[in-house]
């Protein structure tokens, strides 16, 4: 089984049959990437959300709620429909600073976090710059980092950030994007997993592939069937089924299954 914390398929395939992405053994979070909506983001998000929810038990998330800052629309927005929401993408919003920018968490951002958490939704720390990351960590309770890597890319987490999340028992989704993980093959991707587990254990690690959000993904892990082969690599290296199941499914599913 596999639980993917972040897949951008709703925004890549707005007119496609969403159900074709699902198999019985997979739970795929439909992350609605609002940065691709030039105008009228709120109504587009609502329409996509309704369609996804009509398709079944699909975890739905919003990547970048910056569109809700105007008129402080976030105060009336129904966050309870969503698994998680992030305050920004790679650039500053009225809420916080993005990974490629220098902003900080704002007073409006703190209010947005309160609104998100009051609804039972999680706050996603992906795409925040380092300063905003720790600002949010200081004031948010229900957190995760949906899709990231562990190298020195601005979109990746450094050791201090990882340790802070592990201490909070927060789930971290490992991205499949080369630039964020430095892996060019399934074997090297398994190396990244192994390095994390040796340092921090296996209770926080999950997957947030960013499939359909990037084309910079190695050919031998660029779909779910191929990614599942990484399990076999880890098992050959001596990983037990319990550890593998935590990484591939249980850590993410436990977070998703928490009662709102």
Asked if residue 15 has pLDDT above 60, the reply is no
- pTM equals 0.96
Mean pLDDT across 48-55? 87
The pLDDT value recorded for residue 18 is: 57
Angstrom distance (rounded) from CA 42 to CA 21 = 24
The pLDDT value recorded for residue 79 is: 98
**pLDDT digits 0-9 by tens, 121-166:** 999 999 999 999 999 999 999 999 999 999 999 999 999 999 999 9
Average the pLDDT over each of 58-62, 65-69, 189-193, 256-260 and give the range with the smallest value. Answer: 256-260
**pLDDT digits 0-9 by tens, 223-242:** 999 999 999 999 999 999 99
The mean of the pLDDT values for the chain is: 94
The pLDDT value recorded for residue 14 is: 67
Band (17; pLDDT cuts 50, 70, 90): low
């Amino acid at each position: 089984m596999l639980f993917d914390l972040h897949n951008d398929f709703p925004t890549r395939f707005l007119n496609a049959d969403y159900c074709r992405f699902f198999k019985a053994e997979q739970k795929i979070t439909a992350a609605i990437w609002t940065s691709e909506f030039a105008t009228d983001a709120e109504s587009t998000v609502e329409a996509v959300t309704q369609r996804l929810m009509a398709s079944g038990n699909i975890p739905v998330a919003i990547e970048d709620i910056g569109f809700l800052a105007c008129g402080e629309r976030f105060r009336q927005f129904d966050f309870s429909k969503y698994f998680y929401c992030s305050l920004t993408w790679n650039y500053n919003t009225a809420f916080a600073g993005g990974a490629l920018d220098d902003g900080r968490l704002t007073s409006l951002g703190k209010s947005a976090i309160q609104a998100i958490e009051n609804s039972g939704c999680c706050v996603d720390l992906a795409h925040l710059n380092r300063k905003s990351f720790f600002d949010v960590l200081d004031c948010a309770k229900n957190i995760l980092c949906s899709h990231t890597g562990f190298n020195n890319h601005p979109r990746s987490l450094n050791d201090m950030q990882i340790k802070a999340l592990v201490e909070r028992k927060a789930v971290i989704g490992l991205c499949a994007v080369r630039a964020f993980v430095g892996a060019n093959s399934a074997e090297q991707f398994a190396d990244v997993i192994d390095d994390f587990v040796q340092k921090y254990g296996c209770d926080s690690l999950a997957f947030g592939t960013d499939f359909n959000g990037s084309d910079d993904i190695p050919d031998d892990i660029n779909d779910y069937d191929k990614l599942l082969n990484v399990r076999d690599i880890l098992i050959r290296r001596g990983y037990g089924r319990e550890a593998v199941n935590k990484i591939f499914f249980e850590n993410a599913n436990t977070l998703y299954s928490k009662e709102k």
